[in-house]
Structure 1
Amino acid sequence: MKGKRIRQKGKLRLSQYFKKISDGETVAIVTDKGIRVSFPERLKGQSGKVSGSRGKFKLVEIKDGNKMKTFIIHPAHLKKI
């Protein structure tokens, strides 16, 4: 996996922290090491649909094997596809 450039290490842009992602959008999970990650490492690189929100976090539905699972993820770790 490609890491951050040397000047970007440890930084988090405010636009990325407060970005708007609406329900029904397809997103990829990209971990940002500037924020604490609270979801399993196996999700990194997977894609899913946003099904709702809880506060400022988003509910993302991801297919894990044959089951659809819902994870609560901060928008800073999501990238629109």
Structure 2
Amino acid sequence: MVKHSRGYRTRSRSLLRKSPRERGAIPPLSRLMVDYKEGDQVVIKINSSVHSGMPHRRYQGKVGKIVGRRGKAYMVSVSIGDKQKLIIIRPEHLVPFSPTR
């Protein structure tokens, strides 16, 4: 018998699962071409088919603020509870924030 994997990705299968029509697809270019400025708000939406620059699953769905750039990735400030975290995320996992009222 093979030992059960206890990594954090095994506990996020349903969270990061794509629908059958989206499976294996690369992100649309319009999502990659967005140029975020410092102070812009973004939603962290993890694309499970792109592994580079992928944040931890605890940040899925969180709204953060762009602090700066590091190479092709963005530095995003996110509040988790009473703490401020600075995480580095590639643009494949970011969506512009638009508050709907």
- Shorter-normalised TM-score: what interval? 0.7 to 0.9
Equivalent residues, number = 80
**Letter in structure 2 aligned against 1:10:** G
Say yes or no: does 1:57 pair with 2:73. yes
Change (3 A) 1:20 1:5: farther
Greater fraction of residues in strand:
1
Q: Which structure: larger Rg?
A: 2
Structure 2, unaligned runs of 5 or more: 1-14
Q: Tell which has more relative contact order, 1 or 2 (C-alpha 8 A, sep 6+).
A: 1
Find the residue that maps to 2:76 and give its secondary structure.
strand
Which aligned runs of 4 or more in structure 1 are off by greater than 4 angstroms? none
Question: Structure 2 length normalisation: TM-score?
Answer: 0.68
Structure 1, unaligned runs of 5 or more: none
- Overall identity of the aligned pairs, in %: 29
What is aligned with 1:73?
89
Q: How big is the alpha-carbon RMSD for the aligned residues of Structure 1 and Structure 2?
A: 1.9
**How far off its partner does 1:4 sit?**
4.0
